[in-house]
Amino acid sequence: QWTTASIVDDQVARIRTQIGDGHAICGLSGGVDSAVAAALVQHAIGDRLTCVFVDHGLLRAGERAQVERDFVAATGVNLVTVDARDRFLDALAGVTDPEEKRKIIGREFIRVFEQAARDLKAKGEAEFLVQGTLYPDVVESGGGTGTSNIKSHHNVGGLPEDLQFTLVEPLRLLFKDEVRRVGLELGLPETIVHRQPFPGPGLGIRIIGEVTAERLETLRAADSIAREELTAAGLDRDIWQCPVVLLADVRSVGVQGDGRTYGHPVVLRPVSSEDAMTADWTRLPYDVLERISTRITNEVADVNRVVLDVTSKPPGTIEWE
């Protein structure tokens, strides 16, 4: 019978055997898997682990702080944050095609992470690379090494040949619910352990149109209000996720106070799902929708309309891009 404590003990022992007195590096995405993988390795080898967090500027409000403050407070991990916000904005300038955006974000992410890995390796502080590969990922990729799985932008299996790392995958035998329990056992905060899915390309694929600093500010403000109200209503565990999407190239006429406005709509996309392969649109209570709508239109300059996406998946995907 596997208890969570025995999973932790077992993995910590395996990690110690594998890494010996070596050093490891782990990219943190802000998500559950990389956080728990890093916490396990930190538990096993302490400050011989360095975590790298790439701030690509496409994060939601408070996400960087959650990693820099809450994760570090809970684990005591060595953290290097790379501020790459300008670099990503420059690379995305003028780009509107969804696939092109994804490719650019993935490519820049790998480059920035690779540089950080190179720097640490040069100092002799990274021979091992920690990845949060889960059991379902292993199965999906045919039981291979786990380097070929999904999510290209998080998958640092894309590092160049001359930058050899040995992979450490402490979650390889676990399912998501076990990963969450391990996270709690290791003292990670609920906000990290029960975080809803958020795509690697972040808000970059939730701005329909070109990504600019100003549009990111607008979307971040609207998203943060929606999240606050959903949390306050106690709905976080009932919904899978609720993307907020800015239709940056659409304008519509509105009226506020005694003035005419010509602003942008935001879309609320609350979904219920088991695994994101299929999803149903969530029937959110009207009073919650009303609070979100009123607050967004009052508090976010440039947004004068809030609309609700009532499309299931299929035919709609969860994200709009």
Please enumerate, by residue number, every residue annotated as part of a binding site for ATP: 29-35
d(CA 226, CA 242): 8
- Integer Cα distance of 130 and 165 in angstroms: 9
Shortest Cβ distance from residue 241 to ligand XMP (Å)? 6
> Contact between 276 and ligand XMP (CB under 6 A)?
yes
First-to-last C-alpha distance (Å) of the chain: 43
Q: How far is the CB of 197 from ligand XMP (least distance, A)?
A: 4
- Which of these, 133, 150, 138, lies nearest to 40 by C-alpha position? 133
Annotated binding residues, as ranges?
29-35
Helix (H) or strand (E) holding 129: strand 128-130
Q: Would you say 200 or 263 has its CB closer to ligand XMP?
A: 200
Residue 151 as a binder of ligand XMP (CB under 6 A): the answer is: yes
Please give the C-alpha separations between residue 145 and each of 107, 133, 168, 173, 269, in angstroms, as whole numbers: 22, 10, 10, 13, 35
Q: Which is nearer to ligand XMP, 109 or 165 (CB)?
A: 109
Our CB check for ligand XMP shows the closer of 76 and 197 to be: 197
Residues near ligand XMP (CB under 6 A), total: 12
Closest CA to 269 of 295, 247, 243: 243
Choose which of 93, 197, 249, 283 interacts with ligand XMP (CB under 6 A).
197
| Residues in region 225-264 near ligand XMP by CB under 6 A | 241
Stretch that binds ligand XMP, among 167-175, 225-233, 283-291, 313-321 (CB under 6 A): 313-321
Q: Cβ neighbours of residue 122 under 8 Å, at least 6 residues apart?
A: none
Q: Which is nearer to ligand XMP, 278 or 298 (CB)?
A: 278
Q: How far is the CB of 299 from ligand XMP (least distance, A)?
A: 25
313 sits near ligand XMP (criterion: CB under 6 A): yes
Cβ closest to ligand XMP, residue 170 vs residue 199: 199
Asked if residue 57 binds ligand XMP (CB under 6 A), the reply is no
Applying CB under 6 A, among 201, 204, 263, 270 the residue interacting with ligand XMP is: 201
Looking only at the bridges linking them, the beta strands covering 259-268 and 244-247 are antiparallel
Cβ-based nearer residue to ligand XMP, 103 or 295 = 103
The smaller minimum CB distance to ligand XMP, of residues 245 and 303, is found at: 245
Long-range contacts: 214-220, Cβ < 8 Å, 24+? 215/246, 215/248, 216/57, 216/58, 218/246, 218/264, 218/300, 218/301, 218/302, 218/303, 219/244, 219/245, 219/246, 219/266, 220/60, 220/61
* CB contact set of 190 (below 8 Å; sequence gap of 6+): 184
99 Cβ neighbours under 8 A, 6+ residues apart: none
Question: What would the x/- binding string for ligand XMP be over residues 75 to 114, using CB under 6 A?
Answer: ----------------------------------------
Q: Which residues bind ligand XMP (CB under 6 A)?
A: 151, 154, 197, 199-201, 241, 276, 313, 317-319
